[in-house]
Amino acid sequence: MTTKPIKVPGPEHPITVEPNASRVVVSIGGRVIADSREALTLREANYPPVQYIPRKDVDMSLLQRTEHATYCPYKGDCAYYSIPLGGERSVNAVWTYEAPYPSIAVIKGHVAFYPDRVGSLGTQTTRNLADHGTTSLRGQRAGIDRHSVSPAGRLEPPPLLWLVLAQRP
């Protein structure tokens, strides 16, 4: 029996998790699969950012658990779901770490979607400024209040705060 390697995020392979202050909506075929204001944006090394959405904000009845499984030495065992509404394109379109390693425990109870396997996955933030409204529509790179994940799985204080706003047309 071989033991799976376990690694802790660090300078050579950083992982950060930030609460996403934006509303994250996932849909397929015009049907909303997930709608959350409590998503987490996970950034890992040089990979694209990923939106992890709390299960409570996902219509889990529209997902079907599959036998597909993968392993990440930083996060643990990964389980997958398909979205039957999306047909072949949406096979194994959703993943989750049901028992993530302590260093990334904040994503427990969340699922993530492959953006190219659903109809749309995006975020929307609306902010009002003194004399005019502003809106920011962003895709996978959305985020605010960046946090680092400590080896114990706790969100550390934000080293950076950023927000992108664009004037409403």
Least confident of 34-38, 51-55, 161-165: 161-165
pLDDT score of 121: 59
For the stretch 42-51, pLDDT in tens is 999 999 999 9
Task: Provide the 10 A C-beta neighbour count for residue 119.
Answer: 18
- CA neighbor of 52 nearest in space, from 5, 103, 98, 7: 98
**Cα distance between residue 121 and residue 138, in whole Å:** 10
Listed by start position, the domains of the chain span 15-167
CATH 3.40.50.150 fits 15-167, yes or no: no
pLDDT score of 164: 28
For the chain, the average pLDDT equals 77
